[in-house]
Structure 1
């Protein structure tokens, strides 16, 4: 049977040691079968186990193999489309409920880290950096919007103040969110997996779901076994493939690229990011970066639509890093990798139920670290019969990409090109 290892990345190279997990090789019965051991699946499993469910998790490769173990490691609140956009789309009542949940994911992460003693280099503080006056105006509006929904850990940064936070000459200002922050993302996933097992949950690695037998008592088939369950949670996101065709039709895997420098040393690291906050700029095709626990710079950006792997990731991302930090021109890049996230046309997550017993959440659209932890709680609530928050997500309107799967990639790339030009010329 094929054994899929982690891709080469800084996260895989610095992951905490964990015991190997077996592949499923027989028939098992459970209350809930979770497909995917990324953040959505692990968060769902934890909340369900804490409420007395018997849970079995199937992972096609290894825990955190997908976006959960490859992302930029930033705890960023709200959704890829903010609450005001949601409000215009669905009205104030539904938006109020979604707005109240927009800042919950980060709290869940911190609660998990504390409760289960997860070693993942958790740091507080995230900065949104404005390159233009127009972007700064947007941040001022965003602060008012978030405060309207009770989120008050925010500080606007003028040009002088942002220079105290990040040694980059590009920015005219920014906004600091102290409930934001950053983590070693793979170690967070590994710690959550250990928490699942500590509560009696079972995780099978190298066990891809190849077929779902739908019905009153659904069965998930793997190459060498099957899981009979009362409920299924589909949490494969960009790595789900065509297992559930109706989910694939309204989403598109996209790749993002990340590089990590050699260790910078305490002095240089302190000059670049004196308070050790993470940073993302306000462009549509944004750049994001932060320091690791051993004082490397993780820098990411760019999108490849259709999830192709670029031939030379460093050639794409290093110029972006040097534009922000020309002082790193002689610094070596130790790691470069890509990973996929799942984009929806609305850039809002897709949550729902197929039949009576198959639940899903997907399509974080590049904004998944906090949302996926919230999604696990919302899915667990729905299985317990508390569906109000689940329904608030499930009722969001979603549409297939124009032209179907054949044309979704060029249409999305064309849209990104347009917004990239707007970023470039400051519109």
Structure 2
């Protein structure tokens, strides 16, 4: 096992999260040593890389994935575990910016990621505590109008899995007095995110794929006819390269650095609550998130812990005290949990794009990339992995739609993207507090 310090990953092992503590057994994959050649090389063993790799391996391609730490080390193994349909940018926003045809195209695939996840779980018998339904909650009447508009908008695109809940109806699903009501998406859900990633990695290997762990990429030559990826102890030359490092790709590929900004979000896990208290809090066992700009999201784990997340830190830094930060919010939602023991608290980064729309494209002739899910990567990454595999296999139909969407760097470049975003966050946070 390689024990060298990795600049972005500490020693490369999983962070001390509930997910890591309850992960299914998984082998330690070898480090990349020596020079190799293969059809397709993918950088990053998170959902994007694993989804792309598994689709391609199932088609018969010879594929290798290089991971700087462990499989699912980044956002894929740390997130809230919620299967939430849609992108960060709403269909209304996409229609306004890019036109009706693009909005219709996006609407046709907003549920696809969840469908892929369920198919993977079923086909490969992945044990990851899959549960159904997710709920969006509103704290104000303005929030409720926003949810009603969302339901109508999605229905206009033929998506009819959502149902409005007034205050009393919501309490049948979530026993909290904080909310005015909510919207339930019957096609949403939640699961153990790290175990999903580990299961997909095993499925990839069952189909002939190779994964190298603890192998941070130090150089990428995407301009060559046959792209080359270098690590400290080895290299891979390939016919096609796919970059799926997302928030953790760093500055290895400068062309992509300005496109996204790492943003950290935090999650904590209580001690096991027991069946009675867990059912008292969330009788439906659905996952929940509110619709504020800086939101709370939470759900019950398979062993009846409350997994509660929220908050953002632009630039990707960790808060000084995650438990204190999240405990205040959890106590507002569920006063019954005041004083409950917190067993785990952790932080992780997602990649934010300025437009809040994920980016997919190509640099050079044979290098593809996907990133910038902006907090909606659980489903988005699975969909984009399929679209990347389609493009590499020769069908560019869906890839080209995303590749042609305009993107914009954060105002002020790298130096000012964090303070700019903090100012925006402050403004929207103030609107949340005022109920605007």
Give the TM-score band, short-chain normalised: over 0.9
CA distance in 2, matches of 1:226, 1:115: 33
TM-score (norm: length of structure 2): 0.97
Pick one of 280, 283, 287 that aligns with 1:278: 287
Q: 1:248 aligned to 2:266? A: no
Q: 1:346 aligned to 2:388? A: no
* Uncovered stretches (5+) of structure 1, i.e. residues with no partner: none
Question: 1:291 — aligned with what?
Answer: 300
Question: 1:93 — aligned with what?
Answer: 101
CA distance in 1, matches of 2:260, 2:221: 23
Superposed, 1:104-115 pairs within 5 Å as 104-115=112-123
Contact 1:69 1:189 in 2 (8 A): yes
* Uncovered stretches (5+) of structure 2, i.e. residues with no partner: 5-10
SS of match in other structure, 1:101:
coil
What is the deviation of 1:157? 0.4
Pick one of 311, 323, 326 that aligns with 1:317: 326
What is the deviation of 1:152? 1.6
SS of match in other structure, 1:47:
helix
Superposed, 1:320-331 pairs within 5 Å as 320-331=329-340
Say which is worse superposed, 370-379 or 207-216, in terms of deviation.
Answer: 207-216
Pick one of 397, 405, 409 that aligns with 2:406: 397
CA distance in 1, matches of 2:71, 2:347: 17
What is the deviation of 1:206? 0.2
Question: 2:142 — aligned with what?
Answer: 134
What is the deviation of 1:4? 1.3
Contact 1:74 1:278 in 2 (8 A): yes
Say which is worse superposed, 81-90 or 409-418, in terms of deviation.
Answer: 81-90
What is the deviation of 1:102? 1.2
Question: 2:7 — aligned with what?
Answer: none
Question: 1:424 — aligned with what?
Answer: 433
CA distance in 2, matches of 1:395, 1:133: 38
Contact 1:168 1:325 in 2 (8 A): yes
CA distance in 1, matches of 2:160, 2:34: 51
CA distance in 2, matches of 1:8, 1:287: 21
Question: 1:303 — aligned with what?
Answer: 312
CA distance in 1, matches of 2:61, 2:373: 26
Aligned length: 427
CA distance in 1, matches of 2:73, 2:109: 27
Superposed, 1:350-369 pairs within 5 Å as 350-369=359-378
Q: 1:123 aligned to 2:131? A: yes
What is the deviation of 1:340? 0.3
Q: 1:52 aligned to 2:63? A: no
TM-score (norm: length of structure 1): 0.99
Pick one of 201, 206, 225 that aligns with 2:234: 225
CA distance in 2, matches of 1:248, 1:323: 38
Contact 1:289 1:297 in 2 (8 A): yes
Q: 1:412 aligned to 2:421? A: yes
Question: 1:379 — aligned with what?
Answer: 388
Pick one of 27, 40, 48 that aligns with 2:35: 27
Superposed, 1:122-201 pairs within 5 Å as 122-201=130-209
After superposition, the C-alpha distances for 1:363-421 in whole angstroms (9 at most, x for unaligned) are 00111100000010000011111111111111222111111100100000000000000
